[in-house]
Amino acid sequence: MTRITALLLAGLLAACGSSQTPGGGLNAPKAWPASGPGEDPPPAPAPIEAVLGQLDLLPALLPPAVATTLFDPVAAGVTIRDLTDPALVAFTVRATLAQLQDGSRLAQVYHWYGHPAYNHAVAQVPVHFKNRHGTTLYGEIVLPRRGLVPPAAGPFPVILVLEGVNTNLAMYRWWHQVFADAGYLVFAFDFSGQGHSEDEAVGDPGDNVHDAQDALDYLLGASPVAGTLDRQRIGVVGHSMGAIASLALQAVEPRIRAAVAAAPISEGSAPFDANPVPVMIQTGDHDGPVAPIPFVNPAVVRPVYEKLQGDRAFIVAEASSHAQHTNYALLPTSSWGLELAGRYSLAWMDYHLRGDRVALDILRTPHPHLSYLWDSEVRIGPDSVVMRGNGALP
């Protein structure tokens, strides 16, 4: 075989998707691109750091039992998260001060420094790419198993993560960790006008579905990990505005094979005319897009679920607010919210993307902190399982 013939053959195999063969294929890199943890905020000015050093006294001044009574009396004093953790209070103060000087979009409130417990639990590769309108978007490729598994062990299933309105991808690193530690390659990015991405270029309408499709184009085509990916096993998860975008995306994007939409607000805010793939809806007892709506919101979200066909699931977390799916510190929501959301979203993808039968058992087993006021439901094929949690009362 001549060298020219060999090159032509290699090009033909690549065009036919040889990078999807077991072991990563001909296009798999020999090593992962350089990665690192999420960004922590810099120290605060010295006088403030001196005060932050005294925050270990906080639990004595405001015991968790007192905090839950003051801040969350509606759920029997059990649904507080982070408010009395001195390290997280100090982290948030540093992040908020840094936000005043680091170019953050102050009108969007939330800083982009994530959460210390999750910043250091991911191996991420920062990237920039342009959407179809020329706006530069910021993204983070999160390597499977923190980059300790070699690229040749692929091809790896993919999870695309879509963020909420006025947020940033750092607020969802807990979700990135859940999937990456389970062997998925995760790609999260900031929508145009959010986080580290640019404001919309001239002529860019800010269409989130288009941004998501352009992100997939970049990941599968021009990214440094394109040769390691399994194009037949791609899922999307999203929260709030990202949940709405996930529902719209799965209806029009044939590369998506399963979806999880967390807190999609209401039927009116989540229009889609088809669901060709399995979809899970997640919400909480006290979900609400602006402020908690105690006990009511599952009824608002349920019509979104009722529109679905085929395999579908409706998961309601006990006493969880709209902040349940973020790792932003100091937002009151259930202390078990992330664990419950991660358990069911991972099982959904494991079953529908990997065919894992153990995941099916997880989906059909009620977590003790599912809502005890509202039904959760999982429908796989002809079988439907209705579940509720254990409840707060003995």
Give the CB-side neighbour count of residue 4, counting CA atoms within 13 A: 0
Give just the sign of the alpha carbon dihedral 300, 237, 271, 193: positive
**Residue 331 neighbours by CB under 8 Å, 6+ apart:** 81, 82, 321, 323
**Residue 318 neighbours by CB under 8 Å, 6+ apart:** 75, 79, 284, 285, 334, 336, 369, 370, 371, 372, 389, 392
Mean pLDDT of the chain: 88
pLDDT of residue 391: 74
Helical (H) or strand (E) element with 130: strand 124-130
pLDDT tens digit sequence for 288-324:
876 667 778 899 999 999 999 999 999 999 989 899 9
Q: What confidence tier does 62 reach under pLDDT thresholds 50, 70, 90?
A: low
pLDDT tens digit sequence for 104-158:
998 889 999 999 999 999 999 999 999 999 999 999 999 999 999 999 999 999 9
SS (H, E, C) 201-256: CCCCCCCHHHHHHHHHHHHHHCCCCHHHEEEEEEEEEEECHHHHHHHHHHHHCCCC
Structure tokens at 375: 């039904």
Q: Quick one: DSSP state of residue 158?
A: E
Most distant CA pair in the chain, distance: 78
pLDDT of residue 266: 84
How does 202-240 read in b/e, with b if 16+ C-beta sit within 10 Å? Answer: eebeebbbbbbbbbbebbbeebebbbbbbbebbbbbbbb
pLDDT tens digit sequence for 233-283:
999 999 999 999 999 999 999 999 999 999 998 888 888 989 999 999 999
